[in-house]
Amino acid sequence: MALLSYFSGNVTWAASFKYRDYRLLWVATVFQSVGMGMEHVALGWLVLELTDSAFMVGVASAARMAPFFFLGIVSGAVADRVERRMFLRMLALAGAIVSGLTALVLYQDTGLVWPIILLAMSMGCVWAFTMTMRQAYTFDIVGPEAALNGLALTSLSQRVGGVLGALVAGLIIAWVGVASQYVAIAVVYVIGGALLMLTRSSGQAAVAEPQSVWQNLKGTFHILSTNRILLILMILAAVTEVLGFTHQTLIPVFARDELGLGSAGFGMMSAVRQLGGLFGLMVLANMGGFQRKGLLMFVLAAGFGLGEMSFWLANGVVTFVLALLFINACASGVDTLYKTLMQSNVPNEQRGRAMGSWVVSIGVAPVGHLSLGAIAGALGAPGALLINGSLLLGVSIATALGLPNIRRLK
């Protein structure tokens, strides 16, 4: 914590660390993201081992993401009503409980996949609210001027935790099994919640007089019908989610079937994915005052598509790693820009609902997970990503040319 405070006064990219509560939120996010990274590796590998089906891996990923779509609007309405700091604490506890229940099911060793998928869906409910609350609370703490820096650093903390979680996950699965992995996940969620207990303030940009959840819920649809920029950003984020971010579904398939790796190797591949994201976020955090955010968003989305297409050419571990690094540098950057622009283009009292709209956007991922799993089953993983990457590249170029107002967003 002291080291983060030192950097905040000496390094431009670390400007948001000058806020004590932000430093606590950042470290808590690292721990929670360690758990999320471990869970991502555990779920993908477990379902693949139980079913030997790329499609079922897609089904599990879809189940985990479905709550984002169905609860996104609700989470935004709740976020604009409640004390976000307090709600984040409760969500950390809920994550620990779901992880503990998953461990109990796995210790029973029934070999059934559907209880695991249902619990993954429960964890998706926790994360649908967590994502909304965390992005809005970050903005609360650092304010509008440092929003890009704060949101980039928050995403950076998620990537740091994701790298650590992925590395640890593969080793734990190999050494003591996946059930013990979920016990460890519960522990890191508890640690994250304990750190959030130390935060003191609602933040400088917090809403002073929130409306009821029902009023916020009705207001969300009114905002989307009148705020064209927010609606377009929401649609673009959804398209990027379906065609781009769903590539994560096929990483365990690539690791085992294309590269001949075991669970530890899969963990390493997942860590590499997070490292690419770290690089992209470090660059973005250092661009705090950059004024061509809309154009950069389109450039990164196009790069994301190109990166997916490059999997078709990957014929070994080295080329696969390079493709993963590039893809996720672009992915983390474009995702942070979506969140920044969505919050910057609504009034302060509507930021929670803006982030709820973002959660809905990423909640359409089940469509991508299921379709990608089905295509991979028919054409193989490289062919599936070639198709998705080509579509994402084409959509990014077309929308950049056809939406000049979005391209000019600052």
Q: Which residues, at least 6 apart from 310, have a Cβ–Cβ distance to it below 8 Å? A: 323, 326, 327, 389
pLDDT given for residue 1 in this prediction: 56
Instruction: Locate 80 and state its tokens.
Output: 């604009």
> Which CATH superfamily is 11-201+212-407 part of?
MFS general substrate transporter like domains (1.20.1250.20)
Q: What is the pLDDT of residue 3?
A: 47
Estimate to the nearest angstrom the gap between the alpha carbon of 6 and the chain centroid: 28
Whether 387 contacts 243, CB under 8 Å: no
What is the model's pLDDT at position 306?
Answer: 95
pLDDT score for 308 = 92
pLDDT in tens, 265-305: 777 787 787 788 888 888 887 776 677 889 999 999 999 99
pLDDT in tens, the chain (410 residues): 544 554 445 456 777 888 899 999 999 999 999 999 899 888 888 888 888 887 888 788 888 888 888 888 788 888 878 888 899 999 999 999 999 999 999 999 888 889 999 999 999 999 989 988 998 889 888 877 777 788 888 988 988 888 888 888 878 888 888 889 999 999 999 999 999 999 887 765 455 555 666 776 777 777 888 889 999 999 999 999 999 988 887 888 888 887 888 777 777 787 787 788 888 888 887 776 677 889 999 999 999 999 999 988 877 888 888 988 999 999 989 998 998 898 888 887 777 778 778 778 877 877 887 888 888 888 888 889 999 999 999 999 999 999 999 999 87
Cβ neighbours of residue 84 under 8 Å, at least 6 residues apart? Answer: 133, 136, 137, 140, 202, 203, 206, 352
- Percentage of the chain exceeding pLDDT 70: 93
At 93 the pLDDT is 96
CB of 385 closer than 8 Å to CB of 265: no
**What is d(CA 151, CA 137) in angstroms, rounded to the nearest whole number?**
10
The pLDDT, as a whole number, for residue 208 is: 52
pTM of the model: 0.73
Longest dimension (CA), the chain: 57
Helix runs in 227-350, H state only? 228-243, 251-253, 263-285, 293-310, 317-344
The amino acid occupying position 276 is G
Residue 385's alpha-carbon distances to 70, 223, 245, 307, 329, in angstroms, are 26, 35, 11, 9, 17
CA separation, residue 36 to residues 1, 126, 215 (Å): 22, 11, 32
| 3-class DSSP state of 211 | coil
Q: Which amino acid is residue 405, in one-letter code?
A: N
